[in-house]
Amino acid sequence: MHPDDPCSAMPTEHLHAGAFVRTLSYMVPGSTEAEGYKEFTKLGREASKTLLYAVVGRSLAVAYVPDVECDRLYCEHSALVGYKYLTEPGRTWIERIIWMAVHVSIICILAYFVIGAYHAFTTVPMVTSVESDHYPTTRISFPAVAICSINRISRRSAVKMATDVSKVTNMTVDQILELIAQLGDLYNSMYKFPKARHEELNRLLLDYYEGEYDITEIMKDLTPQCSVILLKCLFNGQQRNCTDIFSFDKTQDGYCCTFNYVRHDRDYDDETPMEVMPVKDLGIERGLTVVMEPFLDDYFYSFLPIIGWKVTVFNPTDYPDNISGGVTEVLVSPLLESYLEIEAVSFYSTDQTKSYPIPKRKCIFPNEIRTRYGVYSYSDCLVDCREEQVWKQCKCIPFYLPTRTNELSQHGRRTCTLRDVSCLHKHKSKWLSVFPHEDELLNETMGKIDSLRCGNCYPTCLDVTYSLRSSSSKMKRGFYKTRLLDNIEIVDQSIIHVYFSKYGTVRLKQDVAYTWYELLSDIGGICGVFIGFSLISVVELVYFLTLLLLELYKSFSGNVEERVGEEVESSGELPQKESTMYTIYWNELAPRTRQKKRRLRQRNVERVEKSCILITTSREVHFEVPRFGLTAFKFLTESIISVLPRRINFKLSPFLRKREK
């Protein structure tokens, strides 16, 4: 502070807004403080700035503030219905409260409907509909057919085995046959045998094979062979060799004769995979016809208390397992001609469903997940789940479950033998009750039932389900002069016909229930009905919020610069920043006439010494302006604003360098 400054003795606490207003009033002779304040506000409007005057520290800071009426402007100009009544001039406070209550109520109802629409979009994203009920039958595959004799152990094969075993033991053939019958307990049956007999047969087989034995091969050799029980076969109107179109594969009932079954076990790894046979034509003659021989005198162990055959129809690529729900079974008795009319329902999911997670669409595409058996299938997943549980409980795998590769043996998983029968029977009820993917409606039931949970198993998104309509007629013994039964004497034989009779089948399609644009349309319609909301309203709201944020940012930046200046001033340190100071003396600008008296000039100088206004810009250019000459001051202010940056801070200077006389 200059020692000769006449303003230096003035306490800074007395420099307030009123002093600045009085300063303006001194510029015009005869004006009052009210007129000075009027001139001051007029000057602020001409500068297009909103100024806030406050006491900050030791000086008066004039800062730029954001428009506090931004919310009022938004309500007045918003496209939303009814918002202008909240801030419209002339409205009473009662009207404003009523309109506010109406808007709050409508927004609450709107939120309820919007949340409901979104909840429906997220919880029920898929819908299954009938795409066609006349989908061509020729476009689907012919189903796989498994023919299983109720007799699971052939007497001829059992006698042959007992004769061979009797050569290495003191037991008779009949005694060994009684033990061999216990091998039937390895099937999925409810019959039970004493544990002691299992141990006795196990020791006998260990002695006969001189160590560990392959129970799978033993059960396969004891089962009635396809070449024996299948007498004649026709397919697509042509007579075929039964051993050419049927193979001996594992099913849920052990080894059976299977037709059009392309999922083989490890015994067929080296062979070329079979192709699925399509449906070429309709009618009995274009289907599959088989003449079967029961060999009633060869029965040794039956897994059901009847005689005849079990015919299973299933998907060609799935393991025939009734637990998966994808098989249809029919029992055929001797001396019957059975007609098995097939009906198919195909199902597929659109590509749009792939973007949804598996628990939402509740199906898996074939190539979406790779398993150790290759392409994913629902049946394989359930089989894997059961195998894991059986291995966990009994440390073995039942012989009738598919392995398809040697991978199980590579992992040290052995096939269940007679030593494991007691463990298998103990947990059998749990393995027969399998729950696939989680269902909220079954949670309570699953908690009460001792069942197997396979939460990762979902049906495939491309699937065909086959069903049967069976009818039969009684056959008479004797000879028939037909192409099928030529040179065959009917004694106990049976005939089955598996065929399609209808050209059209049902085709189901799973698609997304709501797309994102349908959800947007629903929500937009609801919002439009309640408050007239649209995308333009969103742009409008973003626009007003952006302006408000910019104004707040400018105000914050100005306050920061002001605080920095105050800290520098209080510390007595000047910023290391290049600045330029210009001092303008109005006496030099005013015309000097010889007629002016020295006393008048002295009075003007005294007014200058009382106070001054310091105008600071972001370019660090300072102008010291006296308090008189309002017109010249306004002209100079407008000139500075036009050539300098828009953001200008006005401060009342507490000191002035006294001009040398």
Amino acid 661 reads K
What is the average pLDDT score of the chain?
Answer: 74
Asked whether the predicted pLDDT for residue 588 surpasses 70, the reply is no
The closest alpha carbon to 273, from 303, 235, 226, 317, belongs to 317
Mean pLDDT computed over 611-628: 40
Residue 498 is predicted with a pLDDT of: 96
The tens digit of pLDDT for each residue in 294-353 reads 999 999 999 888 999 999 999 998 888 887 778 899 999 999 999 999 999 999 999 888
Alpha helices (H) along 12-80: 17-27, 33-46, 70-77
Residue 631's CB is within 10 A of a number of other CB atoms, namely: 9
Residue 240 is predicted with a pLDDT of: 92
Give the whole-angstrom CA distance, residue 324 versus residue 253: 14
Give the whole-angstrom CA distance, residue 617 versus residue 631: 21
Residue 510 is predicted with a pLDDT of: 92
The closest alpha carbon to 493, from 505, 507, 480, belongs to 480
Q: Rounded to 5 degrees, what are φ and ψ at 347?
A: -140, 140
Mean pLDDT computed over 377-381: 84
Mean pLDDT computed over 629-655: 44
Mean pLDDT computed over 37-58: 41
460 in Cβ contact with 377 (< 8 Å):
yes
Asked whether the predicted pLDDT for residue 554 surpasses 50, the reply is yes
Residue 432 is predicted with a pLDDT of: 76
The tens digit of pLDDT for each residue in 492-529 reads 999 999 999 998 999 999 988 877 777 888 888 888 77
Higher pLDDT, 235 or 583: 235
Residue 347 is predicted with a pLDDT of: 93
The tens digit of pLDDT for each residue in 385-442 reads 888 888 988 989 999 988 654 444 445 688 998 888 888 888 877 777 777 776 555 5
283 in Cβ contact with 343 (< 8 Å):
no
Residue 631 is predicted with a pLDDT of: 46
Kindly report the pTM of this predicted structure: 0.65
607 in Cβ contact with 623 (< 8 Å):
no
Residues facing residue 130 across a β-bridge:
508
Provide the pLDDT confidence category of residue 49 given band limits of 50, 70 and 90. Answer: very low
Asked whether the predicted pLDDT for residue 71 surpasses 70, the reply is no
